[in-house]
Amino acid sequence: MPSYPEVRLYLSGLWLLIRGDAQGFRLLDISDRGMMRSFWAFVWCLPGAFISWLWWRDYLLEGMPSGARIGGIFFVRMAMLEIFNWLVPLILAGVLCSLLGIARKFPAVVVTVNWLSVPFAYLYGLLSLRFLLPSSLDTALALVHFALLIVMIVAISRVMRMICGPQPLMITTLVLVLIVPSMLLTEALQRFLGIYPL
């Protein structure tokens, strides 16, 4: 598994790409081996994701009868949901890259998207932690949640521009493929896995 200094180096490279500096590619391993190693990002995301799962568990319990309990299988199902939402967009992006004739760029897409997931997992985790605490700022927190989504879209768009060049249509299509499918399928998967509020 990549060490903390290595992950920090990858995140520094991503920050340079977001700022439009191609030197960021020097800090990322976009080889085939680097692409496979980038899936360790899922493990790095788990602490932040776990906090989000705790918030979702609390949200589910609010809609259940008093005294209801949610067992450990809930966390297994949440992990399954995360894996599905992680892999499906990347698979679709791979198909799209093949159709567009840019398959050689696919490793860079996977590496950057995987490692970009790490900071956002912790940002969403911190926000979920705030949701878990008693608060009268639910509306404001929901706006922050939406703002984070916008920031993520902008970050992915800027990174895709560095990978694909000034190709607005290609960039837009890639961003949509990387973000929209998980948004559309999340509710259906939650219902299927039995982790949707009653």
More confident residue, 54 or 133: 54
The helix (H) or strand (E) run that includes residue 175 is helix 168-193
The helix (H) or strand (E) run that includes residue 92 is helix 73-100
First to last CA, the chain: 39
Q: Is 65 exposed, middle or buried (0-12, 13-18, 19+ CB in 10 A)?
A: exposed
What are the domain boundaries of the chain?
4-193
Report residue 194: phi and psi, to 5°.
75, 30
Report residue 21: phi and psi, to 5°.
-100, 115
Q: What is the pTM of this model?
A: 0.88
> How confident is the model at residue 144, as a pLDDT?
84
> How confident is the model at residue 150, as a pLDDT?
93
Beta strand extents in the chain (DSSP E only): none
Half-sphere exposure of residue 141, counting CA atoms within 13 Å on the CB side?
16
Q: Summarize pLDDT for 84-139 with one digit per residue, the tens.
A: 999 999 999 999 999 989 999 999 999 999 999 999 999 988 888 777 776 656 67
Region 147-172: mean pLDDT is 93
Is residue 27 very low, low, confident or very high in pLDDT (cuts 50, 70, 90)?
Answer: very high
Which residue in 53, 163, 52, 74 sits closest to 116, CA to CA? Answer: 163
* Cα-Cα-Cα-Cα dihedral sign, residues 185, 191, 196, 198: positive
Q: Which two tokens stand for residue 12?
A: 């520094």
One-letter amino acid of 143: L
Evaluate if residue 187 carries a pLDDT over 80. Answer: yes
Q: Is 19 exposed, middle or buried (0-12, 13-18, 19+ CB in 10 A)?
A: exposed
